[in-house]
């Protein structure tokens, strides 16, 4: 049974999906950390009886903030870290320390549309499809090897909000499936590649 730590900054819809899926999965979420004190996801953790922690990032160097998170995750005996709507860029040293056990969900079909304002850029480019990707986190932003992806159509009348909603629907299915693969040891990061057994 793998112990999972989830890092959030917002509403925690992805956290909610991971919580719902854990009962019949080989992982248990043992700690939720938010860098934002009033993040809605903290309530989801409390409602599920999961310990949570607020570690503000304000007024701290990236390394100091990451060192606090690292210490809390290790103290909780965490095996796998999931970024779920976590809106901070992690230091290279944190990414390296957790490499192979640190994953993220990004609302595009990586490697396309890394970074922010994804839906606006997808619509602007006239793409016919978009989607979500779960990937291993490496020091370069949104650049780690992909573990799982799911695509959705982009409709001609889509707004960034309507597209975000459609993408989120697949995120909430994709993330639990990808975390299960990792927790079961059926995927691993090897020489910069996601390797499946
Ligand atoms: C979602 O749109 C997701 O694409 C990205 O963060 C956003 C907020 O997610 N990962 P959540 O509701 O905080 O899980």
Q: pLDDT of the chain along its 197 residues, tens only?
A: 999 999 999 999 999 999 999 999 999 999 999 999 999 999 999 999 999 999 999 999 999 999 999 999 999 999 999 999 999 999 999 999 999 999 999 999 999 999 999 999 999 999 999 999 999 999 999 999 999 999 999 999 999 999 999 999 999 999 999 999 999 999 999 999 999 99
> Which tokens belong to 37?
């004190």
Cβ contact 98:137 at 8 Å? yes
Which residues contact ligand 1 via a Cβ below 6 A?
A: 8, 10-15, 41, 84-85, 105, 107, 164, 168, 171
Predicted structure pTM score: 0.96
> Which tokens belong to 157?
């009348």
Cβ contact 95:135 at 8 Å? no
What does the domain layout of the chain look like in residue ranges? 2-107+133-149+174-188
Which residues lie below 8 Å from residue 24, measured CB to CB, with a gap of 6+? none
2-107+133-149+174-188 adopts what CATH topology?
Answer: Rossmann fold (3.40.50)
Probe residue for ligand 1, chosen from 20, 171, 178 as the CB with the greatest number of ligand atoms within 8 Å? 171
DSSP state of 163: H
Query: Distance from the CA of 7 to the center of ligand 1, in angstroms?
Result: 11
């Amino acid at each position: 049974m793998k112990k999972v730590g989830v890092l959030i900054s917002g509403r925690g819809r992805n956290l909610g999906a991971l919580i719902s899926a854990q009962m019949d999965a080989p992982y248990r979420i043992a700690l939720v950390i938010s860098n934002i004190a009033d993040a809605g996801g903290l309530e989801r953790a409390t409602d599920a009886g999961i310990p949570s922690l607020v570690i503000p990032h304000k007024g701290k160097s990236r390394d100091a903030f990451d060192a606090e998170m690292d210490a809390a995750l290790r103290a909780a005996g965490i095996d796998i870290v999931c970024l779920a709507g976590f809106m901070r860029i992690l230091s290279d040293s944190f990414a390296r320390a957790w490499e192979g056990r640190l994953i993220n969900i990004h609302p595009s079909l990586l490697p396309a549309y890394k970074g922010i304002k994804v839906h606006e850029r997808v619509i602007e480019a006239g793409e016919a499809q978009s989607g979500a990707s779960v990937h291993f986190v490496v020091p370069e932003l949104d650049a780690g090897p992909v573990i799982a992806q799911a695509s959705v159509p982009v409709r001609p009348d889509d707004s960034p909000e309507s597209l975000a909603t459609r993408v989120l629907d697949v995120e909430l299915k994709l993330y639990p499936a990808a975390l299960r693969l990792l927790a079961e040891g059926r995927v691993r990061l090897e020489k910069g590649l996601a390797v499946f057994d």
